[in-house]
Amino acid sequence: KCLFHTEGLFKPEKKKKKNFDMKNAVIGNNRQKANLIVLGAVPRLLYLLQQSSSSLELRTECAVVLGSLSMGTENNIKSLVDCHIIPALLQGLLCSDLIFIEACLRCLRTIFISPVTPVQLLYTDPTVIPHLMSLLSRSQHTQEYITQIFAHCCKTPEHQTVLFNHGAIQNIAPLLISPSYKVRMQALKCFSVLAYENAQVSMTLVNVLVDGEQLSQVFVRMMQRDKPIEMQLTAAKCLTYMCRAGAIRTDDNCIVLKTLPCLVRMCSKERLLEERVEGAETLAYLMEPDIELQRIASVTDHLVSMLADYFKYPSSVSAITDIKRLDHDLKHAHELRQAAFKLYASLGSNDEDIRKKITETENMMDRIVSGLSESSIKVRLAAVRCLHSLSRSVQQLRTSFHDHAVWKPLMKLLQNAPDEVLVMASSTLCNLLLEFSPSKEPILESGVIELLCSLTQSDSPALRVNGIWALMNMAFQADQKVKVEIVQALGTEQLFRLLSDPDTNVLMKTLGLLRNLLSTRPHIDQIMSSHGKQIMQAVTLILEGEHSIEVKEQTLCILANIADGNTAKELIMTNDDMLQKIKYYMGHSNVKLQLAATFCISNLIWNEEDGSQERQDKLREMGFVDILHKLTQASDPNLCDRAKTAMQQYLA
Amino acid sequence: MEKSYWVFIERTRVILTFMLAYKYASLQCSIAIFDVKNTYKTSEELILAIHLLQQDLQPLLAGLTFKELFTLLTLGAGSLLTGDPAFNYQEHELNERLKRLYPAVNEEETPLPRSWSPKDKYSYIGLSQNNLRVHYKGHGKNHKDAASVRATHPIPAACGIYYFEVKIVSKGRDGYMGIGLSAQGDNMNRLPGWDKHSYGYHGDDGHSFCSSGTGQPYGPTFTTGDVIGCCVNLINNTCFYTKNGHSLGNKLSALSFCPCLSFQPNLYPTVGLQTPGEIVDANFGQQPFVFDIEDYMSEWRAKIHSMIARFPIGERLGDWQAVLQNMVSSYLVHHGYCATAMTFARATETMIQEDQTSIKNRQRIQKLVLAGRVGEAIDATQQLYPGLLEHDPNLLFMLKCRQFVEMVNGTDSEVRCFSARSPKSQDSYPGSPNLSPRHGATNAHLHNTGADSPTCSNGVTPTNKNKSHNKYTGVSSASASSSPSSSPSSVNYSESNSTDSTKSQPHSATSNQETSDSEMEIEAEHYSNGVTESSTRIMNGTYKHQEILQADDNSVDDSCSSRQLCGGNQAATERMIQFGRELQALSEQLCRQYGKNATHKKMLQDAFSLLAYSDPWNCPVGQQLDPMQREAICSALNSAILESQNLPKQPPLMLALGQATECVQLMAKVRSGSCSFARVDNFLH
């Protein structure tokens, strides 16, 4: 039967009739659609569509049939795209007949909103976008289809720029007050994708007037509670993106009193699972950088306990009663969990009280712990983000983190995970290794040092920072044994490689590690006796290099620590070059550096130690006393005190 | 110095008055009008004020709000003004806001809370600032020193959703403040929430107390500067609080807590204080709320509307359609829209119970009554439905009374026949402005859509119509746009009546239009009347209605002041007097037969009183002469005829409407909050 249909297409006199039959045959029947495609109808239809000699009616029918075919399965769309349907249809848009244009657009819309279609195809021909913009004025249908295409095909900053440069904002803004709901909705979606992380678009949007009204007010109206949920949610997204891009202040009423409550409502149990996911994710994004919004959200509509419901899918009831429901729940369960974790992470990122509230939510820590080992990477990532956010709390580190042994799954997670998870997990580990954290001991025993050292060799600067940071925390006031273990595992070579790391953060944390390693006299002497030469070299290098004040200060502090050692002192005293450097920094314009350098000298001339007299003499000869004397007149009280203390060593 | 000061004050006054008059005249702010009258005797002065505003003091005014200017005025020249305009203004704001928020509340029955009650409070509570500010004046040693105050009135259930806010002016010593609800009779020596039927959100710990001495963790604490709101949802019987415009939620979960308000006595807004220095200000609508309560309400309105729209009819879909068709059809038949009813029946393939002639007869009688030709209507009724009026002497008496009134009016045929200038004709109904029948509220809509309203189809003969339309095209089209049935009749009026009424033609057209507009606004009254059985109540309804329209009618009357008793004809007047005697006799006879009837007596008195005035149209009882008064009697007669034919005397459509309206009112009485969002007139647009 189908063969007959396609054959008909080649006989001119029957074309129209056959086409018509074909249209009716394929509507709503995916198998027929696939059959037609297999039989090669598409190239024929495309040929007819492009033939300017065929009648408009026939060409329109062709576009309609193609549109119907595209409504089928993803495979159908793939075959259509493979037949180069997109350029053909885009070509069709140049025709002047509105009905034909609408048929082409409808088909293009269906193809472009499919996930299998490469969105880039919309941008290959630079004339397409401006032409689509010009078609926006033709009819409500063209408006609906075109805005829908834009909303789906704007995936990257480049796409945003292309659309922006072709006047997307001016062309689409008036559609927000279109009489057609579909047009309003698609236009709104366009703005949400255009504004996402795009300061240029967002800044332009705040100044746009629609019918004399500011765009943000139009969005606020679309968030009214009697509007459809989809509209409320998308409008809230637009305002969120505009706010995050810096176009709207976070204390603006339209954010504080409208967008935030609207997004909180989207998280309520009454909403569909998809809406709850989107609502929570958007809300997390909105308040991420702003503590005030976090505080407001944390008391709005019991958000913290409302989110606990996100973990109750699939519910035990759905499993028994309704297999369809179970399927639905299962599909969204991961999404719900990760969204909730994200929102908790955002809520707890700054405020101690909120963190406490979160950890006190029913089974929260257990949920995070099990989230860390879930199969879905998205959930694992979100869970570790949440854990990281909560780990900023000293109190939580001491209590719930320890009680639930979160370090165990965390360590497991670190074994082999993608980089983005690793970054979060290692960052959390940094906090868990803080000196006051009770988890520090068990983590140390689990052989974490090897792992952290391997992180410092990563290509990702974030991982290198976290690795060295964790080591730094670990070395803080640690036993000699641990310190030796760190130095051994890391290796001096790697240590010095890190000291020349292009990333300042890495450098700072490495210096921090050194400083922590070089604390308490016996440790200093021991490490300096084995690695003194290299360390002194590295210090020289940094002090001579182009580095920030903070780096130099940290380095001078290391020097001061070295000067505190019994034997290590000599490494400085015998190094005239180094002494000159210290002298230079004592006269530096930056107080912090002066202070650190003075500290160093003060350690060297400290009275009660062996050989202090000789050192004092030598340094006096080098003119340090004069400098110290001058510094006692310094305006900075700390520096003044420090210099006076040092001077007293001479007087005693 | 002194002088320039007064010049400034005077200027400010001038500007403010202008502002008031200009900007807020649309609000019909009574103060504004009052003040304009007092300050300016001539329009020149007003122009001067405009001048001042535009030239001298524009920079001064820039950035000042209306309210600020108002305060300025009262500060500078307060003594010069009577009353406290700032307060009046607030009062006005309050009324507007309450009306907007709670349109379903009938404040005559259930007044809304507007302030704290100076009577219903514990002695440790002090009130000030129009009873809106509450401060604590006790010792505040322990919880035994707690004190509360309730609002003047309980929250009416017809609110659906009720909301008020309290601003913490000062947290005092410890900030032990509670905001919430309580029932009358609850101990005032307590904070809200501690006792039975009371609910409160407390500032010191952020807990919610629900008829219990121990609170549940609910929200954040609150203190000086915070605005705390309490929202009562009488639809799902819950309550939630807000802080600084943010809902704190009422969703039940392990941690949070929701006071459930089911089976409650009337609840009053309540605040409680416990330590010295605590001061709070209430906002019952005097100012805009910080929380967007209207948005919250709109969600519930949408919810309830969609619930109604999605009410499941299940298997009975077919029945439903038949019922609806039947309703429409019977309504058309009831009011005698014969042709429309037939067309409708044909299109929907339904049957009409009454036969066509009967419908047409009723239609004819109704038209006679509405045209003011009651005598003819009585004759026709007696001829077509013998025995009907004899069995219903009340109706007959009412008709006769109306006939007498119409005689005064000069419209009844018994007096009209004396007038040479107004020939009695079957086709055109001359007389006073002949309005379309009002059978109830919906007729305005039906008239607009229906092709066959009585006055349109029969009231004007084709020839007449053409002629008059040519003559008064502008006028008739203007009124036709709002109520098609009224325009032809007003044209008739000018055709048949004397020259002076022709002069007033444009006026009557305008007034007709206005009447039909106001008719829409007060629809609700009609439904409730539609369902009532007794004709007196119908009359009362129309009476009230009439008062609203009085102003318009007066303007018509003014323009044709030469209107005369019985059309100014001596013979006619005599006939009227004679008829009056007959009526008196009938009344006495009825009195003997059935006993005294106060309604009849009143009716008769009112009718006869018309003769006591030189200009009956402009006398205290003059509204009887209004053609609109014919409608009540018209529908009573129609109902009686239908009843005599064993047909329902009320169209099912009106019954259903009336019933729905009554149901909604009943819902308010039994404290079912959704009634406020399920109002019948919401669905009649």
- DSSP, residue by residue, B188-233: SSS-TTSSTTEEEEETTT-EEEESSSS-EE-S----TT-EEEEEEE
pLDDT of residue B602: 82
Q: Is the pLDDT of residue B650 over 90?
A: no
Helix (H, G, I), strand (E, B) or coil at B363: helix
pLDDT of residue B539: 35
Q: What angle do CA A23, A28, A31 make, to 5 degrees?
A: 90
Stated as kind and residue range, the H or E segment containing B164 is: strand B161-171
Residue to test with chain A: of B253, B299, B306, most A Cβ within 10 A:
B253
Q: Domain of residue B188: give its range.
A: 108-291
Tokens of A311: 């973990």
Q: Is the pLDDT of residue B665 over 90?
A: no
More confident residue, A580 or A260: A260
Mean pLDDT of chain A: 87
Most confident of A54-58, A379-383, A641-645, B591-595: A379-383
Q: Indicate the pLDDT class of residue A394, thresholds 50, 70 and 90.
A: confident
Q: Indicate the pLDDT class of residue A20, thresholds 50, 70 and 90.
A: low
CB contact under 8 A, A305 and B255: yes
**Which among B499, B435, B426, B95 is positioned nearest to B284, based on CA atoms?**
B95
CB contact under 8 A, B301 and A268: no
Q: Is the pLDDT of residue B69 over 50?
A: no
CB contact under 8 A, A302 and B295: no
Q: Do the domain assignments include residue B84?
A: no
A268 CB within 8 Å of a chain B CB: yes
Omega of the bond prior to A126 within 30 degrees of 0, cis?
Answer: no
One DSSP character per residue, B114-141 reads -SEEEEEE-TTEEEETTTTEEEE-S---
Residue to test with chain B: of A301, A304, A363, most B Cβ within 10 A:
A301
Tell me the chain B residues in contact with residue A301 when contact means C-beta distances shorter than 8 Å: 247-249, 251
Tell me the chain B residues in contact with residue A226 when contact means C-beta distances shorter than 8 Å: 298-299, 301-302
Q: Do the domain assignments include residue B34?
A: yes
Q: Do the domain assignments include residue B425?
A: no
User: What's the rounded Cα separation, in Å, for the pair A207 and A224?
Assistant: 22
B287 lies in the same domain as B327: no
Q: Indicate the pLDDT class of residue B202, thresholds 50, 70 and 90.
A: very high
Q: Is the pLDDT of residue A213 over 50?
A: yes
Q: Is the pLDDT of residue B80 over 60?
A: no
Question: Domain-by-domain residue ranges, chain A?
Answer: 1-117, 530-651
Q: Is the pLDDT of residue B214 over 80?
A: yes
User: What's the rounded Cα separation, in Å, for the pair A558 and A528?
Assistant: 11
Total domains, chain B: 3
Least confident interval from A15-29, B13-27, B282-296, B589-603: B13-27
A269 CB within 8 Å of a chain B CB: yes
Q: Do the domain assignments include residue B103?
A: no
Tell me what the mean pLDDT of segment A126-144 comes to: 94
Give the Cβ contact number of residue A55 at 10 Å.
Answer: 12
Looking at B55-124, list the stretches that DSSP marks H as alpha helix, in order from N- to C-terminal side. 58-61, 66-77, 85-101
Out of B58, B76, B94, pick the residue that ends a domain.
Answer: B76
pLDDT of residue B16: 53
CB contact under 8 A, B255 and A296: no
Q: Indicate the pLDDT class of residue A338, thresholds 50, 70 and 90.
A: very high
Least confident interval from A400-404, B246-250, B451-455: B451-455
Q: Name the residue facing A225 among B243, B245, B296 (closest C-beta).
A: B296
Mean pLDDT of chain B: 69
Q: Is the pLDDT of residue B660 over 90?
A: no
Q: Is the pLDDT of residue A275 over 90?
A: yes
**Which among B461, B463, B443, B462 is positioned nearest to B453, based on CA atoms?**
B443
Tokens of A330: 């299962």
User: What's the rounded Cα separation, in Å, for the pair A3 and A101?
Assistant: 29
pLDDT of residue A266: 95
Q: Name the residue facing A301 among B251, B255, B292 (closest C-beta).
A: B251
CB contact under 8 A, A225 and B249: no
pLDDT of residue B224: 94
Residue to test with chain B: of A254, A259, A298, A299, most B Cβ within 10 A:
A299
The shortest C-alpha distance from A197 to chain B (Å) reads: 27
The shortest C-alpha distance from A198 to chain B (Å) reads: 29
B52 lies in the same domain as B173: no
Q: Name the residue facing B298 among A224, A261, A304 (closest C-beta).
A: A224
Residue to test with chain A: of B247, B248, B289, most A Cβ within 10 A:
B247
Nearest chain B alpha carbon to A353: B220
More confident residue, B263 or B573: B573
The shortest C-alpha distance from B239 to chain A (Å) reads: 12
The DSSP symbol for B620 reads T
Q: Is the pLDDT of residue B29 over 50?
A: no
B65 lies in the same domain as B168: no
Tell me the chain B residues in contact with residue A309 when contact means C-beta distances shorter than 8 Å: 253
The shortest C-alpha distance from B354 to chain A (Å) reads: 45
Cβ-count burial of A601 within 10 angstroms (0-12 exposed, 13-18 middle, 19+ buried)? buried
Nearest chain B alpha carbon to A222: B295
B57 lies in the same domain as B125: no
CB contact under 8 A, A299 and B251: no
A305 CB within 8 Å of a chain B CB: yes
* B483-527 residue pLDDT tens: 333 333 333 333 333 334 334 344 433 334 433 333 343 333 333
Tell me the chain A residues in contact with residue B256 when contact means C-beta distances shorter than 8 Å: 302, 305
Q: How far apart are the first and last CA of chain B?
A: 63
* A57-97 residue pLDDT tens: 888 888 988 888 888 888 889 989 998 999 999 999 999 89
Q: How far apart are the first and last CA of chain A?
A: 113
Size of interface A-B (CB pairs under 8 A): 55
Give helix B374-384 / helix B630-644 axis angle, nearest 10°.
Answer: 0
Q: Indicate the pLDDT class of residue A321, thresholds 50, 70 and 90.
A: low
Q: Indicate the pLDDT class of residue A53, thresholds 50, 70 and 90.
A: confident
Q: Do the domain assignments include residue B434?
A: no
Q: Is the pLDDT of residue B26 over 70?
A: no
A270 CB within 8 Å of a chain B CB: no
Tokens of B265: 């006595």
Q: Is the pLDDT of residue B228 over 90?
A: yes
pLDDT of residue B362: 85
pLDDT of residue B671: 66
The shortest C-alpha distance from B211 to chain A (Å) reads: 21
Q: Is the pLDDT of residue B242 over 80?
A: yes
Helix (H, G, I), strand (E, B) or coil at B270: strand
Tell me what the mean pLDDT of segment A345-365 comes to: 90
Tell me the chain A residues in contact with residue B302 when contact means C-beta distances shorter than 8 Å: 225-226
User: What's the rounded Cα separation, in Å, for the pair A315 and B47?
Assistant: 74
Q: Indicate the pLDDT class of residue B14, thresholds 50, 70 and 90.
A: low
pLDDT of residue B70: 47
Q: Name the residue facing B251 among A226, A258, A302 (closest C-beta).
A: A302
More confident residue, B49 or B480: B49
Least confident interval from A135-144, A342-351, B221-230, B595-604: B595-604
Tell me what the mean pLDDT of segment B347-353 comes to: 77
Q: What angle do CA B621, B362, B418 make, to 5 degrees?
A: 55
CB contact under 8 A, B302 and A226: yes
pLDDT of residue B417: 64
**Which among B76, B237, B308, B218 is positioned nearest to A299, based on CA atoms?**
B218
Tell me the chain B residues in contact with residue A254 when contact means C-beta distances shorter than 8 Å: none
The shortest C-alpha distance from B269 to chain A (Å) reads: 22
Q: Is the distance from CB of A316 to CB of A270 less than 8 angstroms?
A: no
Tell me if the domain spanning A530-651 has CATH number 1.25.10.10. yes
CB contact under 8 A, B299 and A226: yes
Least confident interval from A225-239, A405-419, B171-185: A405-419
C-alpha distances in angstroms, B313 versus A651, B318, B402, B650? 103, 10, 47, 26
Tell me the chain B residues in contact with residue A225 when contact means C-beta distances shorter than 8 Å: 295-296, 298-299, 302
Chain B residues with a Cβ under 8 Å from any Cβ in chain A: 219-220, 243, 245-249, 251, 253-256, 292, 295-296, 298-299, 301-302
**Domain A1-117 - what CATH class?**
mainly alpha
pTM above threshold 0.90: no
CB contact under 8 A, A301 and B249: yes
Q: Name the residue facing A296 among B246, B295, B302 (closest C-beta).
A: B246
More confident residue, A644 or B551: A644
* B370-423 residue pLDDT tens: 888 888 888 888 888 888 888 888 888 888 888 888 888 777 776 666 654 444
User: What's the rounded Cα separation, in Å, for the pair A495 and A510?
Assistant: 7
A309 CB within 8 Å of a chain B CB: yes
Q: Indicate the pLDDT class of residue A260, thresholds 50, 70 and 90.
A: very high
* B603-640 residue pLDDT tens: 888 888 887 777 777 777 777 888 788 888 888 888 88
Q: Indicate the pLDDT class of residue B435, thresholds 50, 70 and 90.
A: very low
Q: Is the pLDDT of residue A289 over 50?
A: yes
Q: Is the distance from CB of A257 to CB of A297 less than 8 angstroms?
A: no
B65 lies in the same domain as B175: no
Q: Is the pLDDT of residue B277 over 90?
A: yes
More confident residue, A286 or A65: A286
**Which among B195, B374, B204, B337 is positioned nearest to B273, based on CA atoms?**
B204
Tell me the chain A residues in contact with residue B299 when contact means C-beta distances shorter than 8 Å: 225-226
Helix (H, G, I), strand (E, B) or coil at A519: coil
Nearest chain B alpha carbon to A301: B249
Q: Do the domain assignments include residue B360?
A: yes
User: What's the rounded Cα separation, in Å, for the pair B619 and B609?
Assistant: 9
pLDDT of residue A587: 82
Q: Indicate the pLDDT class of residue A320, thresholds 50, 70 and 90.
A: low
B120 lies in the same domain as B243: yes
pLDDT of residue A416: 77
pLDDT of residue B503: 41
Q: Indicate the pLDDT class of residue A341, thresholds 50, 70 and 90.
A: very high
Residue to test with chain A: of B248, B290, B295, B296, most A Cβ within 10 A:
B295
A252 CB within 8 Å of a chain B CB: no
pLDDT of residue A295: 95
Nearest chain B alpha carbon to A300: B248
More confident residue, A328 or B245: B245
Nearest chain A alpha carbon to B305: A226
Instruction: Go through A358-378 and write b for each residue having 16 or more CB atoms within 10 A of its CB, e for each that does not.
Output: bbebeebbebbbebbebeeee
CATH number, position B152: 2.60.120.920
A2 CB within 8 Å of a chain B CB: no
Tell me what the mean pLDDT of segment A273-290 comes to: 95
Q: Indicate the pLDDT class of residue A221, thresholds 50, 70 and 90.
A: very high
Tokens of B330: 């019977």
Instruction: Go through B500-525 and write b for each residue having 16 or more CB atoms within 10 A of its CB, e for each that does not.
Output: ebbebbbbbbbbbbbbbeebeeebeb
Report ipTM (2 d.p.): 0.80
Tokens of B332: 């058309």
CB contact under 8 A, A226 and B298: yes
Nearest chain B alpha carbon to A221: B295
More confident residue, B43 or A203: A203
pLDDT of residue A475: 86
Gyration radius from chain B CA atoms: 32
- Residue B150 φ then ψ, to 5°: -105, 160
Q: Is the pLDDT of residue B2 over 50?
A: no
Q: Do domains A1-117 and A530-651 have the same CATH topology?
A: yes
Tell me what the mean pLDDT of segment B124-150 comes to: 91
Tell me the chain B residues in contact with residue A296 when contact means C-beta distances shorter than 8 Å: 246
More confident residue, B614 or B297: B297
B52 lies in the same domain as B113: no
Q: Do the domain assignments include residue B409?
A: yes
